[in-house]
Amino acid sequence: MKKNIQTISITSGKGGVGKTTLVSNLSYCLAEQGARVLILDGDLGMANVDIMFGKRARQSIANLIAGEAGLEDVLVELTPRISLIPGGSGVYGLHNLDYVAKTALMDQVSQLEDDFDVMLIDTAPGISDNVLYLNSAAQECVVVVTPDPSSLTDAYALIKVLHKRHFENRFSIVCNLVRDEQEALTVYRRLSDVTSQFLCVSLNLKGYVPLDPTLRKATKLQQLICQAEPRSPSSLAMGSIAKSLCDFKYLYEAKGGLQFFWKQLSGVA
Ligand SMILES: Nc1ncnc2c1ncn2[C@@H]1O[C@H](COP(=O)(O)OP(=O)(O)O)[C@@H](O)[C@H]1O
Ligand SMILES: [Mg+2]
């Protein structure tokens, strides 16, 4: 059976909860564990994964869609094992492409299938159609929450629309910016209490990342905490989340693979 790329979106109801931090550091950890990682930066307003790696993307999917560039021109090599597709607002132009253009794009995408093991998708926060498309196209959806009450209500709103409109019924949860494990469990239980009361979905706590001043410092210096301070509490936490993310049984699931992801996203039947 052909191996498929595992596609995982990192998403949230509310902004500033640590999505880009997680996408970048988890990618780093997965690469350290031997995976070849593709990142899709799908945040409209704040496409900044490249900056986390100290690079600057010059083109994006928008150039690809406009026919000004091929996928290989748009792709940015962040490290030898991590590449980035700068998406930005371009990602959402996919839906408006005609059939021929979509098929041509699929051909290009399928060539990447053999080059990577996992794709992490950094989404914008909220419940706009764009965010919903990215999340529903991905095989696994990781919702990031923090102890901030509005982060919980916004996460619930996101899970609810993904379930009602896109029939998603399985979500992974990561609690970020928590004091300790106890607080992570409290946050997780609050969310799972409301979802189990009102929705028929299953939540799975993937892990938590403590509030770590060293992380903030590293980000300011444009360093990845997992690389700069691998023994810091947040690095250790993200390392263990990365281990539990790459569950290779998913590689053979029907919803896997890059082609499936892009077909869902662009609406090719
Ligand atoms: N566990 C953490 N400890 C301390 N600071 C954090 C942690 N996670 C994220 N941050 C900081 O919070 C801010 C927002 O994180 P970011 O990843 O950009 O969020 P998002 O992508 O969800 O908007 C950044 O300044 C980041 O360094
Ligand atoms: Mg971000």
Output the CA 112–ligand 2 centroid distance in Å: 24
HEC secondary structure over 135-188: HHHCCEEEEEECCCHHHHHHHHHHHHHHHHHHCCCEEEEEEEEECCHHHHHHHH
Average pLDDT of adjacent 10-residue blocks, the chain of 269 residues? 80 96 97 94 83 91 84 93 86 72 76 90 88 89 97 98 95 97 98 96 96 96 96 98 75 66 75
What are the residues facing 144 on neighbouring strands? 174
Structure tokens at 258: 């890059």
Q: Is the CB of 15 under 6 A from ligand 1?
A: yes
Whose Cα sits closest to atom 12 in ligand 1?
18
Whose Cα sits closest to atom 6 in ligand 1?
216
Pocket test for ligand 1, best of 19, 20, 21 (most atoms within 8 A of CB): 21
pLDDT at 268: 67
Closest to 124 in 3D by CA, of 261, 260, 16: 16
pLDDT at 251: 47
pLDDT at 97: 72
Delineate the domains of the chain, giving CATH numbers in brackets: 6-262 (3.40.50.300)
Output the CA 15–ligand 1 centroid distance in Å: 10
Output the CA 219–ligand 1 centroid distance in Å: 8
pLDDT at 247: 60
Cβ atoms < 10 Å from Cβ of 268:
15
Whose Cα sits closest to atom 25 in ligand 1?
216
Q: Taking the alpha carbons of 101, 106, 112, 118 in that order, is the dihedral positive or negative?
A: positive
Closest to 133 in 3D by CA, of 161, 110, 101, 105: 161
> What ligand 1 atom has the least distance to the C-alpha of 15?
23
pLDDT at 226: 98
pLDDT at 144: 98
Q: Is the CB of 234 under 6 A from ligand 1?
A: yes
pLDDT at 4: 79
